[in-house]
Structure formats: structure tokens, C-alpha cells
Amino acid sequence: MTSHQTAEREDTAPSPATGRGRWTLLLTGIGFFVVILDALVVVTALPTIHADVGGNLASLQWILSAYLLAFGAGILPASTLGDKFGRRRLYAAGLAIFTAASAAGALAPSLETLILARVVQGLGAAFIAPLSLALLGSAFPPEHRGAMIGIWGAIGGAGIAAGPVVGGAVTEGLGWQWIFWINVPIGIVAVLLTLLKVPESRGADSHVDLLGVGLVSGAGVGLLWALVQGAVVGWASAQVLFSAVAGVGLLATFVLWESRAREPMMPLHLFRNRTFTSANAVGFLSQGAIFATATLVTEYFQTVLGYSPLDAGLRFLPWTAVPLLVAPYSGRLVDRIGARPVMVGGLLLELAGFSLFTLLAEPSTRYSLLLAPLFLTGLGVSLVLPSAPMAVLGSVAREDIGKASGTLNSFMRFGGAFVVALGTSVLAVDDAQGSAAGFLSGFRPAMEIMVLLTVVGVAFALAVRPPPVGATARASPGAPGSVRPAPAPAALEGI
């Protein structure tokens, strides 16, 4: 039996009511929750980390961007390795890497060491995110895939909701190092239980495109370095220009290589599909604007309004808790009316939230006035979170689902890294950490960029094609009038 046939056989999974199904749901949920948590847990701790280990605003943002960059660059090769050598085995390895890097981050004596630990954490997360949901997908039969969208959204929403609060509470009560220490016991237990309780699964055996990984990683580092250093040493400086040119050159080489590679990491032919390209662009822009705005608003709460890390995290809950409550229902809404209207509606809500932040941010602004943009942004995230993946996966043939979902996941992580760097660079131009007035002078133009990027995202969302008339998102394979099975979550690789 071929590995492709094996993957097809595993697609007809046992009932989720079985013990193994429950263990798989629990353990994959824990892994996905932790990696999403750690994308935002440092946000409320950044001012405290700055006071302890030094650095300027531009260098501090690498604590967030380095994690997201490594996360994005590693997703596709991690998925391929999981298909080849076993998803459970590589998922457990990712948990072990993530746990060890968390301990290294807690012990980091300098900013440079902490950033390096975050890079390794991101590499571990690159295995955890796609393989956790690939394992989850293999534990459920196709007719339950629509429900998996809701579970995935709820788990991601819980991580988003908990990130700023956990970061603030732990930083204020124990010290910023403990935002990393808390991962260690969770990771150790999760590794052991995964090896004992989760069944193994594999996908199609394919070649690992190491050159493609190196090229796209180098391009990402070069472009990010240019964005970060431009605000520090000047946009026309030799190092910034060299870094930008090198990044663009490596990116062009990556595209050329992928167009000729025998087994490309990112099949470029998929981008000929308008829906696939547009939904990936939405994922990049929306995820980037969300992470950047979360960073900017949290800094505003602490720098301008004078809240403690815990107070800032708690006041963020009207935004971050909404996806936890709404995302499970958003997947069903997409099933009913299609991805495009849900995606457009979510982006318009995000646009309203960002615009209100830009208009209302003042030193004397009452928190009650900020409840509206916080809630609107959270509601928008809840709608975009499942609709972009479902649009991407609904636009490709079954054999391309694994790489299509990995491509979207990579675009979303890269979006977070690049737009955070862009927003922070604009903020840093006016020495934002020096005073409330200095912060606001950079905050408003940074938020205007988030508004602009979201407008572009709306245009891409409108370009997504609606599904064929009569097609249902939950159609079973071979059902009369069906086009393909319901799309799986963005990280459901190879299912």
C-alpha cells in the first residue's frame, strides 16, 4: 500500500467519541493553544523586559517577530517531514524543542540570547501547529470536518484571549521569565502523553525542499532587518539598503527555484487560482494587522494610560475573548453562506475597530470609550479566522490540500512578523518610549497603516470567488452535486 493510500485510509477515522479521539483532541489542543499563546504572551511583558535587559523599541520587537518568522518559515518543511516520518513523532519532537527553548528564554541573560531562544521556539511551533491539527484531522471522519473548524477557532481564540492576560499577570506577579517557565511542565507532560496516547499517522511521502526553506528564510530575515533598522539608523543607510536588496534578491531566487524544483515547497501553480491567491493575501494582511495592533494598543495602555502589565492584559479581554466565544459559530456561518461574505464582513469590522483606535487614542481617553473598537476588532477576527482557511482549501484539488494549508499558515505567520516590524518601525521614529506625547505621535501613523492594509485586505476578499451554485461546504466525497469535502482548518496538513 502506498503512502498516499495510507493517508486516504487514515482519513476514514474512528469516531471522536473513542478514547484515542478524545486524547488526540486534548493533546493537539494543548499544543496549538500554547504556540498561539506564546505569540502574544510577550506583548504585555515588553516594557518590563526593556527595563530588565535593555534594548530600544525596534530591537525589542524582534522578541515577537523572530518567533513569528521562524514559525512561518518552518511550517511547510515541518508538514512534509511529518508526512514522511510520522506526524505524532514529529509533533512530539516539536513540543520538546519548544519546551527546551522556553527554558532557554527564561534563563536568557541578554536580549540577544532571548531573541535566539524565541527563534528556536518558533521552529518548535512550526512543527506543533500544522501537525497538531493534522493529527486531529486524522482522528475524525470527514463529516466532522466542519465542526473541526469551530474547535480550531475556539482553541486559537482561547490562546489569543489568554496571551495578554497571562503575560501581564505572570510578569507582574512572578517576573517576565515565568512567561517562559510555565511552558516547561506543560511541554514535558504533553510530550510523554502524546507518545503514549496519540495514534501515529502519515501522509504522502515527498521531498523536503531544503533550498527553498533557506531562500525564503533568508529573504524574510533580510527584509525584516531592513524594516527594523530603518527606524534606528535611517532608511537610506548602507546596511538598510543592502539588507532590503538582499531580501528582495533572495525572494526572487526563491520564486525562480520553486518554479523549477522537482517537488517545490510552495507550488506556484496554485497562485493562478484567484481565490487561492486572494485568500492568502487576506491571511497575510489580516494576521499582520491584528498582531501589530495588539502590540501597539498594549503599549498604549501601559505607556500612555499608565496601566500595569496585568491591568493592560485584562483590559484587552473585550477584544481577545470574543474569538473564543464567536469563532466556533463562524465556521458554521461560512458553511451556510460562503467564505467571501463572512471574510469581507470580518475585515470591515476590523477596519472600524482600527479606525476608532486611531481617532480615540489620547492621554485623557477613558477606557470605556475604547470598549467599542476592542469589541469590533475581536468580532472581526472571529469572522476572518475560519473564513480565510476555508476559502483557500475550498479552491484547490484534494491532492493539494496539504501544501495549500501550509502555504496559508506560512503567509499568516509572515504577515504577523512583517507588519509588526513595519508598525513598530513607524512608532520608533518618534522615540515612542520617551513620553506619552512621543508615543502618540508614532502611534497614530502606525495605526493609519493598519487601516490602509485592512482596506487592501477587503479588496482581496472581494476577489474571492463564491462556491458553485448547489455546492455545500459539508458535501461528502462523491455526493451528487458536490465539489469536494468540507475544507479542514488551515493547519490540517495532508488530510
d(CA 412, CA 407): 9
**What local confidence, expressed as pLDDT, does residue 204 receive?**
67
Closest CA to 185 of 55, 319, 411, 34: 34
d(CA 227, CA 237): 12
**What local confidence, expressed as pLDDT, does residue 10 receive?**
43
User: Would residue 194 count as lying in a domain?
Assistant: yes
d(CA 198, CA 400): 25
Contact between 224 and 417 under an 8 Å Cβ cutoff? The reply is yes
User: Would residue 221 count as lying in a domain?
Assistant: no
- CATH for 139: 1.20.1250.20
User: Would residue 450 count as lying in a domain?
Assistant: yes
Amino acid present at 346: G
Residue 150: which domain range? 15-209+263-462
Q: Can you give the C-alpha Rg of the chain in angstroms?
A: 21
**What local confidence, expressed as pLDDT, does residue 457 receive?**
95
Amino acid present at 338: G
d(CA 232, CA 56): 9
pTM of the full predicted structure? 0.80
User: Would residue 217 count as lying in a domain?
Assistant: no
User: Would residue 101 count as lying in a domain?
Assistant: yes
**What local confidence, expressed as pLDDT, does residue 96 receive?**
96
What residues have CB less than 8 Å from 461, skipping those under 6 apart?
278, 279, 282, 340, 343, 344, 347
Residues in the chain, how many?
A: 495
User: Would residue 230 count as lying in a domain?
Assistant: no
User: Would residue 232 count as lying in a domain?
Assistant: no
- How far does the chain reach from its first CA to its final CA, in angstroms? 17
**What local confidence, expressed as pLDDT, does residue 239 receive?**
86
Tell me how many domains the chain contains. 1
Blockwise average pLDDT, block size 10, the chain, 495 residues: 40 51 80 86 82 71 83 83 87 96 93 91 90 74 60 68 84 90 94 90 74 85 81 78 91 89 81 92 92 87 87 86 77 84 94 94 90 93 85 80 79 87 76 67 91 96 75 36 36 33
User: Would residue 216 count as lying in a domain?
Assistant: no
State whether residue 160 is helix, strand or coil.
helix
C-alpha angle 309-427-34 in degrees, rounded to nearest 5: 45
**What local confidence, expressed as pLDDT, does residue 231 receive?**
67
Closest CA to 384 of 341, 337, 446: 341
Sign of the dihedral defined by the CA atoms of residues 367, 373, 376, 378, in that order: negative
